[in-house]
Structure 1
Amino acid sequence: MSELSTQRERMALYAKSMFDRGLTHGSTGNLSARLSDGSLLVTPTGSSMGFLDPARISHLSSTGELLSGDRPTKEMPLHEAFYDTRHGTGAVVHLHSCHSVALSLLPDIDPENVLPPLTAYGIMLLGKVRLLPFFVPGDPAMGEAVRGLAGKRSAVLLANHGPVVAGKDLEAAVNAMEELEATAKLALLLRGTQATALEPAQINRIVERFDVDWN
């Protein structure tokens, strides 16, 4: 089986897994993955991640020309911004996952790092997650906002919209996205309690041990 066919199948499997577990719903969310020749696979516009036809997943050339499949998601500027600025990006996941969106609505979160340091894995897989302002879906300004970070963040949270995560491949990007949603859920569950977060010294040990981009 060719790389194109294999990656289309894998993308459909990961998308269905997230849909079946309630991480995405309806026709929300989108995935992309870069192939070895620099071309991209992208979920089609208006498609449900629970019912993707692998053969209809959009295949775009490195210059953005549609080679096969249906028209790609309208959020292409968001995906392209990560590929263009974040070294080593091999896949991008964007969801409207409930707990992450809820966290983006709260008035007292830190826009420089929306996730509190609750677990080692939240730090290891995501680094600092930047809150970006609200944009109308499909607005190219979302991509420009990501470009403005100059590749310094692998994950962002769009206010009133949802998270976007880049990874070295589909598995890494999906795992990191799931960690973001789980940490957001923990943060919401623990609001108003005296929960014990990780201390700065503990965070520093994690950052050093796992070479996390924490600047």
Structure 2
Amino acid sequence: MSESRLREEICRYGRSLFERGLTPGSSGNISLRLDDGGWLVTPTNASLGFLDPARLARLDAGGVLVSGDQPTKEIPLHNALYESRGSARAIVHLHSTHAVALTMLPEIDPRAALPPMTPYYLMRAGQTALLPYYRPGDPAVADAIRGLAGRYSSVLLANHGPVVAGDSLETAVFATEELEETAKLYLLLRNLNPRYLSPAQVGDLAKNFDLDLPDHEHGHDHSE
């Protein structure tokens, strides 16, 4: 796909996420890795609902701005996830309500922020790590991402929001949406003793859909 088409795709998906209330105001950012090693990145203080393809930041392989507006201040976050997830070609970072709310709950396991609630959560987002709070744009978050050693494609930043990598922009967007909906389900069912997928059911999904899940079972097994 040409760079001009990729620019249009970023704007199209950004508008869709914004219009459905998944990233209000000027929150959230999207990046896409190009074949030459450079990136396209949404600008700082830009609403994902009103992006201009021509004004997206174009960075070279070294992260230097080549053209367009100044990129989001979350570049260290994106860069660390690209470095640790070699298959990643796109990253979506939102401030979606239910995913942010999930990060504030005391019982959340940092190694598996959500239990295996639905097959499509596991198929699209895998397991999700929870990182501690960092100031937006803090370079230290990059070290925290690298500390996950590429085991997770979906990460929650405490009191901040989800960061999701995919092998295409569509994959990253769909996984981010699935993560948000699963967080919503968790909040709706919290303290109601819901039935999660059993370890055998999770194993069956991993086998049949070739899922590379971190070797960790969620601490709250309510399966039957």
Short-chain TM bin:
over 0.9
Indicate whether 1:207 and 2:206 are aligned: yes
Matched residue, 2:34: 35
What displacement does 1:35 show? 1.1
Residue identity in the other structure for 1:135: Y
Unaligned runs of 5+ in 2: 216-224
SS of aligned partner of 1:32: strand
Runs of 4+ in 1 over 6 A off after TM superposition: none
Q: After superposition, give the CA deviation of every residue in 1:25-48 in whole Å (9 maximum; x if it has no partner).
A: 000000000111111000000000
Give me the whole-angstrom Cα distance separating, in 2, the residues matched to 1:98 and 1:25.
Answer: 9
Matched residue, 1:117: 116
TM alignment of 1:17-32, pairs within 5 A:
17-32=16-31
Give me the whole-angstrom Cα distance separating, in 1, the residues matched to 2:96 and 2:44.
Answer: 18
TM-score (ref. length: structure 2): 0.94
Matched residue, 2:62: 63
Give me the whole-angstrom Cα distance separating, in 1, the residues matched to 2:96 and 2:151.
Answer: 23
Q: After superposition, give the CA deviation of every residue in 1:88-130 in whole Å (9 maximum; x if it has no partner).
A: 1100000010000000000011111011111001111111100
Checking the alignment, whether the CA contact within 8 Å between 1:99 and 1:185 is kept in structure 2 is yes
Give me the whole-angstrom Cα distance separating, in 2, the residues matched to 1:146 and 1:169.
Answer: 20
Checking the alignment, whether the CA contact within 8 Å between 1:3 and 1:35 is kept in structure 2 is no
Q: After superposition, give the CA deviation of every residue in 1:169-194 in whole Å (9 maximum; x if it has no partner).
A: 10000000000000000000011213
Matched residue, 1:54: 53
Residue identity in the other structure for 2:41: V
Give me the whole-angstrom Cα distance separating, in 2, the residues matched to 1:78 and 1:109.
Answer: 22
Q: After superposition, give the CA deviation of every residue in 1:68-105 in whole Å (9 maximum; x if it has no partner).
A: 11000000000001111102110000001000000000
Give me the whole-angstrom Cα distance separating, in 1, the residues matched to 2:160 and 2:166.
Answer: 20
Residue identity in the other structure for 1:111: P
Residue identity in the other structure for 1:187: Y
Give me the whole-angstrom Cα distance separating, in 1, the residues matched to 2:92 and 2:82.
Answer: 12
What displacement does 1:9 show? 0.6
Give me the whole-angstrom Cα distance separating, in 2, the residues matched to 1:126 and 1:19.
Answer: 20
Give me the whole-angstrom Cα distance separating, in 1, the residues matched to 2:157 and 2:84.
Answer: 18
TM-score (ref. length: structure 1): 0.97
